[in-house]
Amino acid sequence: MRKRNIRKIVRVISDFSLKMKTATIFLVLFVVGASQASPQLEPSGTDDGAAENITGIHEPYIIGGDVVIGRQFPGMISLQVGGVHNCGGSIVNANYSVTAAHCCQFDPKDVIVMSGSNNLENGGIEHNVLEMHSH
């Protein structure tokens, strides 16, 4: 009887050992695979450093964006400072639009919102800005 119990214990230990070996191998392979699978960013096709916004200057275009045809996005606005496009935004209602917080660094009297056109050079309706709130 005692010999059977010892055999059972040995078998349980060897089964446990096999499971641990399998789990350890799986874990090692998973860690190695995960460490090798880093995301690779595709180049945007611009070679002039426009994607780098280190200085805080907002570039006049979106990297990797598509040209908008006609009135495809009528709810979009252009936030302009000194007649130059600074940021894009979206119309919320007749009195409000929303944009990114970093676009709200200017004095409201120096900012206009252009709506109703996908051409930054001409067209659209000019709106004065009374207040800007960073979110």
Q: Which residue's structure tokens are 């078998």?
A: 11
Largest CA distance in the chain: 97
**In the predicted structure, residue 55 carries a pLDDT above the cut 70:** no
Whether the pLDDT of residue 47 is over 50: the answer is no
Chain center to CA of 4: 63
In the sheet that 84-91 helps form, which strands lie side by side, from edge to edge?
A: 97-98, 84-91, 76-81, 111-115, 125-128
Q: How is domain 76-128 classified at the CATH fold level?
A: Thrombin, subunit H (2.40.10)
What is the token pair recorded at 26? 């799986």
- Residues pairing with 126 in the sheet: 114
Q: What is the pTM of this model?
A: 0.51
Q: Does the pLDDT of residue 54 top 90, yes or no?
A: no
Tens of pLDDT, residues 2-27: 666 666 665 666 666 667 667 667 66
Q: Which amino acid makes up residue 15?
A: D
Res. 129: pLDDT tops 80: yes
Domain segments of the chain: what residues? 1-37, 76-128
Residue 108 has pLDDT above 70, yes or no: yes
Q: What is the mean pLDDT of the chain?
A: 73
